[in-house]
Amino acid sequence: MEVTNVTEYQAIAKEKLPKMVYDYYASGAEDQWTLEENRNAFSRILFRPRILIDVSKIDMTTTILGFKISMPIMLAPTAMQKMAHPEGEYATARAASAAGTIMTLSSWATSSVEEVASTGPGIRFFQLYVYKDRNVVAQLVRRAERAGFKAIALTVDTPRLGRREADIKNRFTLPPFLTLKNFEGLDLGKMDEANDSGLASYVAGQIDRTLSWKDVKWLQTITTMPILVKGVITAEDTRLAIQAGAAGIIVSNHGARQLDYVPATIMALEEVVKAAQGRVPVFLDGGVRRGTDVFKALALGASGIFIGRPVVFSLAAEGEAGVRKVLQMLRDEFELTMALSGCTSLREITRNHIVTEWDAPRSRPAPRL
């Protein structure tokens, strides 16, 4: 059966993967309300398409932190990709590069920054978890910079791991033949079996709960790479991130895997965009499965979006070819949405191209006296 949209890869991945692995990728925190809401919220935003505009040529290119990419669709960091496919992050890096877009490598990748760099040219960002041992952090950031990575995506919503009940039931742990490659030489590459989630125990032992805004400033003293703060969903934190020197903000709820009952990212996006006041670019991840979703995020002020689960599901299904296909399908759908909305470039996508639940009614007929 031919795959005709991004969502169809999830069912294929579910069939192919061991239950523990599929559940790790697919699940969210606690009741998984936010997991569903990340998707559902997109369906409550409707289009106001403009017609009779020449859409014979459509330009989807954009510039992110000075790097030109083919489309505003990028790859979010997703951990332990070799659980999905033997080529793991190598395949993902090649697919992103072939599509002319940016891949973000997870700190908890099963391939190292050097290995991913060895796949060939490409614009890559590095997602960073801050470990208690700051020497480990400094060393990792320097390695990413040396390997040609262009920015740091600092995850700020994980002082502790969210309660992911599937991982607790499955006693999730990294399969024995894999390691967290970036930490292999530091004896932090293995996860122990635990009587709940092995990852939750690993985070409790290694990740720094004292992380605060001063650390965002500290990071800027050890690297020249721009820092994107990933995991902001409020205006207050947007202003603090900019004050702390962030080069950009990723509106993210960690794929609904941390605090349940936070809003869908598409619902939090406009608040963050307004608070940023154009001072830094704002990006979104969480729930993007269609080109229409990409358009809606850009109409609400995002400079681009990141996809996470579609990458690991398509990787599990078809390896590098699957990831390429996901990127191509999203690109084609987004281009079609632009054409049918009357937009020929990203700057033509405006807030007037969508209508949301919180918009005031546009025109009320005058009351008859």
Active-site residues, by number, are: 254
Helix (H) or strand (E) holding 274: helix 265-276
CB 34 within 8 A of CB 253: yes
CB 192 within 8 A of CB 202: yes
| 187, HSE (Cβ side, Cα atoms, 13 Å) | 1
* Tokens 């400094």 belong to residue: 138
Structure tokens of 197? 């989630």
As a whole number of angstroms, the distance between CA 114 and CA 149 comes to 10
User: Which long-range contacts (C-beta less than 8 Å, at least 24 apart) are formed by 186-190?
Assistant: 186/136, 186/139, 188/131, 188/136
Q: What is the largest CA-CA distance in the chain?
A: 80
**Which one-letter amino acid corresponds to residue 202?**
Y
* Tokens 């990831």 belong to residue: 323
As a whole number of angstroms, the distance between CA 79 and CA 86 comes to 14
* Tokens 């033997």 belong to residue: 86
As a whole number of angstroms, the distance between CA 346 and CA 61 comes to 8
- Using DSSP, how many helices (H) and how many strands (E) does the chain show? 13, 12
Q: Alpha-carbon dihedral of residues 293, 298, 299, 300, nearest 10 degrees?
A: 100
